[in-house]
Structure 1
Amino acid sequence: MGDPGADDTDGTAPTAAEVMLRSLREYGVEYVFGNFGTDHTPLLEAAARLREEDPDAIPAFVTCPHESGALSAADGYAAVTGRPQAVFVHVDVGTQNLGAMVHNVHRGDVPVLIFAGLAPITHGDEPGARSSGIQYIQDVYDQEGIVEQYCRWTGEYRPPADPDEFVARALELASTPRRGPTYLAATREALETTVDSTPGSRSLTDARPIAADAETVGRVASMVRDATAPLVVTSKLGANRPDQSVDRLRRFAEAAGAGVVEQRPTALNFPRTHALHVGFDPKAAMERADLVVLADADVPWEPPSERPVDADVPIVHLDIDPEKPQYPLWDFETDLAVRADPGATLAAVADRLESEGGEPDREPWQSEHDARLRGRADSLDAQYDDGALTPAVLTDAIDEVVDASTIVLNETTTSKRTVLEHLDLERPGSYRSPYGSGLGWAPGAATGVKLAAPEQTVITLVGDGSYVFGNPTASAWMAAAHDAPSLTVVYNNSRWNAVRTSTLDQHPDGSAAAASVPESRFDPILDLSHAAHVVDAHTSVVESVEDLESALRAGLDAVERGDPAVLDVRVEQA
């Protein structure tokens, strides 16, 4: 280890800050989504110095005015690429400001490395020592403990350890199933220390799960052959390597004659126009099923306390961790738990079924699919006849402007099922939604998705409550500043509808119901187009069905020109 006060410009050893930045890039991190503080000065100085030598030696910095937007943007980027990105925040307050987005990347299995500074621990003239009274206030006993239960790994870099090893470890455990966030912290003094290290010197473990063993594959194939109406329930299968995963599920469904239900999907898991796609309500589909296969579905039906099929209908659970240790309680009753990669196992079963020949009977699920589409069309016709600007009508209009180059982000909360039912997406990777319940994900995630897929059109669908939680001014600035325009459509019903419906469900004849649950309403109504005026965004308020198509086209034209666009659509509940 070199002299802690040494300067890299004279050829001495690099600082830990320099090594960390170089290591991130060597291990494949393209972006640092950062909300910076006084504890980051060694990293900012190192970044400026390294850019002078070679701008490509370190990740590009994306300045984010709010920490939650930074983490959501990293989430969106990882969703498209499958590669973990870095998020820089400062000390305890910056870590806390990540908020519910930490919950989302945890529950959504999103690989991301969060780095946070720590308050300096020394006084005097040493590099990085305390220089402000705020550094006493920001010093806490256990900063890692703020996020520890949400992370796959937490650690503090302390010299004379090798910083490259810490970066490698954090990225490796973020990417190893089950994927998720990791958290690394360091003081200014540690970052200013010079070290003897080679960035990118380690080979990261790529521990991908594999298919079930041949005996288990044969057993599942036998159960499928004996069934007349097998059903797959999935949530996350298409989130990781979507082209491969969606094709594996399609092959299995066609070989088995199996219907597919997407329960709380975080990605497109199966083409939604396919005749074997039977919607988004697992309990309704299970009424017909005589075999149920759960494939990467953390919460496969609701409520979990009730087995949705008869005891003689077997439930097979395919998952890399079928006991779900990340959930304090998990009381879903299954009959055969298989610890293996769900997609690879479905593909192996499909191989077995195809090799044995024979054509499965697909008619029961095809009839179910067709009946669902007829019911959807009849309901839509009635809403159009009434002239009502409902979530279904709005989504139907959006479906008309979506094409093969579109990626849709969905955080509409109580309208999420309606969006799923009326948006006929087919392409793997064309849909993303948070699996967690931390509201405010979509506005920031849109920037990350656009940076990862600059040639594609990003359309963000978000509820009014979620949009406010997403720090819309910060998100609008971030999109404009980093040339990542997208179209945001706000489903504005002027209320927290989840609060309203939950209250009515539990107390249908209560006093709150009689008063229309006043605590669930935004009165006066929020003009949610206004926040994006902090930049030169295209904005519009839409209040009628007649104005809907032209507003959507104008918004997309603005995005094509490179401007963010926000439509505040005042929807009625059907």
Structure 2
Amino acid sequence: MTGGEALVRALAAQGTDLAFGIPGTHNLEIYRHLAAYRIRHLAPRHEQGAGYAADGYARVTGRPGVALTTTGPGLLNIATAVGQAYSDSVPLLVVSPGMPLRHPRIASGLLHEMPSQTGAFGHLTAFSHRVSSVGEIGAAVARAFSLFRSRRPRPVHIEVPLDLLDTADDPGPPRTAPDQLPARPRPQELRAAAEVLARARRPALVLGGGAHGAGAEALALAERLDAPVATTANGKGAFPESHPLALGVRLHTPAVRTWLAESDAVLAVGTELAEADLWSPAPPLTGTLLRADIDPAQMYATLPAGIPLVGDAQETLRGLRDALATAGTGSGAGAAAGARAVAALRAAADAGAGHRERSRLPLLAAIRSVLPPDAILTSDSAQCCYYGALPHLPVDPPGRYLHPTGFGTLGYALPAAIGAKAGEPGRAVVALSGDGGLQFTVQELATAVALSLPLPVVIFDNGGYGEIRDEMAARGDAPVAVDHPPVDLGALARAYGGHGVRAGTPAALADALREALVTPGPTLITVPEPAAPGPETEHPEETAP
């Protein structure tokens, strides 16, 4: 069996049924065998788009996203998407050829040659593994999937020397990553945490991306404790935002930051509590911090844990529920004082919204009114998303909201929506972006056309990089390179074979979105942004337009 077939067989043995990528001179032996092993393939127009699509697929399906690249520039093109997946703990497997086994260390001018692909990607991934035999390929793939299932998911890169792809040898028996029981904190830590929560008069829950899959347990615990629940951008959708205890994505607001600082017990589940989550340095906490995370290193990061709870989020929250029941604590009476606190905090947070943020509310309400409850939304590092949809477009499970947190990449929304739609073709998927971010990956409209499934793409057009424009104005600087000449984005979508319309009012937006949800292919809906009387409230993500 050639190395290329051994690789495809190994992917199929782990349950891979879809790969994203672009064929190139050096990876053709991989592509030769995809159909035989029933692995479908979706070809984005750029490797960065392939990475974002695989990321979106992984987030909504819970299965690792697989991306195939060629050597050199093809691999480096996906690096930004890999960095985003690392930041957001997404299981992403990138497979590429590499220089031949006996390639000289002195550059020889071979096509796509670079000093070390594994050296570059070893700093972007959980690990970058260069195999040295056909028989090692299955073990390398099983190692990647074992990490995805047992630890904090991070991207992985596997490199197969290009001459090994065409070499026939014994691959050994198929290998699969072993099933592992979810990790659970130690009983004494669960008991200690339950005692702190039982005594708390002002408990707080903060749910991050690691809490997805534990939403039912988080809801039961919040109701038992009568505790307000805030979510990070990555945690949006883990807890129903229509619930009276839900604060939503408002950790960046002064009122909610003060509430967090004054809570006497804070249970943070699957979140780093980092600047990317809070949009500023973490506030000093006066209460006990209980950190629940699959990653032991998080117990000592940013804000050290008063009580560490290392384990799977679902198992940890179940253990806390059992410990509280054994102690006879918690009334289970549902939201009362907690709901009143949430209503006051929401009102205080929303009172500080800027003019442009308030002007988007009718548009976001129009989007929500059309979408089914289980819709999937993807967003970009754009003002319409972090000032708009994140705090003001409510999402309840099983709906999902995918946002590029932390690394703060641009151009994520469209290809991530393509990956989400490929993974969940029966669910409504909508991409939200700004005109600046869209143009980082606008060529993926062609990929969406090839997918031939309904995919609305809502673009809030502020004529360039609105966030950086506002930051320049706040500094007293003259705007430089932030204002773009007008682009007829609808015409661009039609040129790719999709559809394009403008919607200047909430009613027009609702009508256009309703039509787009039943029209095969992408429909790009341009929403002109209203002008603001001055710069928006300062936002710390300096690279976000």
**TM-score for both structures, normalised by structure 2:** 0.87
What letter corresponds to residue 32 of structure 1 in structure 2?
A
What letter corresponds to residue 530 of structure 2 in structure 1?
E
Q: CA RMSD in A?
A: 2.9
Aligned partner (choices 497, 518, 533) of residue 494 of structure 2: 533
Shift of 1:438: 1.6
Q: Which secondary structure state, in structure 1, belongs to the residue aligned with residue 433 of structure 2?
A: strand
Q: Which secondary structure state, in structure 2, belongs to the residue aligned with residue 161 of structure 1?
A: helix
Shift of 1:137: 4.5
- Render the CA deviation track for 1:499-526: whole Å, top value 9, x for unaligned: 2344455x3xx3x0xx3x343322x233
CA shift in 2, pair 1:539/1:95, >3 Å? same
Q: Any gaps of 5 or more consecutive residues in structure 2?
A: 252-256, 533-545
Shift of 1:295: 1.2
What letter corresponds to residue 158 of structure 1 in structure 2?
S
Aligned partner (choices 431, 442, 447) of residue 418 of structure 2: 447
- Render the CA deviation track for 1:464-507: whole Å, top value 9, x for unaligned: 222112x212x1111111234311101221232332344455x3
Q: Which secondary structure state, in structure 2, belongs to the residue aligned with residue 411 of structure 1?
A: coil
CA shift in 2, pair 1:540/1:375, >3 Å? farther
What is the distance in 2 between the residues matched to 1:211 and 1:183?
A: 29
CA shift in 2, pair 1:379/1:565, >3 Å? farther
Q: Which secondary structure state, in structure 1, belongs to the residue aligned with residue 459 of structure 2?
A: strand
Shift of 1:67: 0.3
Q: Which secondary structure state, in structure 1, belongs to the residue aligned with residue 418 of structure 2?
A: helix
Q: Which residue of 2 aligns with 1:98?
A: 78
CA shift in 2, pair 1:314/1:336, >3 Å? same
CA shift in 2, pair 1:68/1:160, >3 Å? closer
Q: Which residue of 2 aligns with 1:553?
A: 511
Worse-superposed segment, 446-455 or 111-120: 111-120
What is the distance in 1 between the residues matched to 2:282 and 2:176?
A: 46
Shift of 1:88: 0.7
Equivalence map 1:286-297=2 (5 Å)? 286-297=260-271
Q: Which residue of 1 aligns with 2:285?
A: 309
What letter corresponds to residue 426 of structure 1 in structure 2?
D
Residue 344 in structure 1 maps to residue 315 in structure 2: yes
CA shift in 2, pair 1:332/1:528, >3 Å? farther
Aligned partner (choices 206, 220, 223) of residue 254 of structure 1: 223
**TM-score for both structures, normalised by structure 1:** 0.83
Shift of 1:135: 6.3
CA shift in 2, pair 1:570/1:389, >3 Å? farther
Identity %: 23
Q: Which residue of 1 aligns with 2:92?
A: 112
Structure 1 residue ranges, 4+ long, deviating more than 6 angstroms after superposition: 375-380
Q: Which residue of 1 aligns with 2:428?
A: 457
What is the distance in 2 between the residues matched to 1:251 and 1:217?
A: 16
Aligned partner (choices 46, 50, 65) of residue 85 of structure 1: 65
Q: Which residue of 2 aligns with 1:20?
A: 7
What is the distance in 2 between the residues matched to 1:343 and 1:174?
A: 16
CA shift in 2, pair 1:535/1:519, >3 Å? closer
Q: Which residue of 2 aligns with 1:39?
A: 26
- The number of aligned residues is 518
CA shift in 2, pair 1:120/1:160, >3 Å? closer
What is the distance in 1 between the residues matched to 2:358 and 2:308?
A: 45
- Render the CA deviation track for 1:328-370: whole Å, top value 9, x for unaligned: x943254233322333222221223245155268433211333
Q: Which secondary structure state, in structure 2, belongs to the residue aligned with residue 110 of structure 1?
A: coil
Q: Which residue of 1 aligns with 2:538?
A: none
Aligned partner (choices 396, 403, 420) of residue 390 of structure 2: 420
What letter corresponds to residue 284 of structure 2 in structure 1?
P
Residue 364 in structure 1 maps to residue 319 in structure 2: no
Partners of 2:418 and 2:448 within 8 A in 1: yes
Q: Which residue of 2 aligns with 1:10?
A: none
What letter corresponds to residue 413 of structure 1 in structure 2?
A
CA shift in 2, pair 1:186/1:472, >3 Å? same
Partners of 1:15 and 1:195 within 8 A in 2: yes
Partners of 1:465 and 1:495 within 8 A in 2: yes
Q: Any gaps of 5 or more consecutive residues in structure 1?
A: 1-13, 124-132
Shift of 1:299: 2.8
Partners of 1:212 and 1:339 within 8 A in 2: yes
What letter corresponds to residue 359 of structure 1 in structure 2?
S
CA shift in 2, pair 1:249/1:363, >3 Å? same
Partners of 2:381 and 2:408 within 8 A in 1: no
Shift of 1:232: 1.0
What is the distance in 2 between the residues matched to 1:368 and 1:304?
A: 23
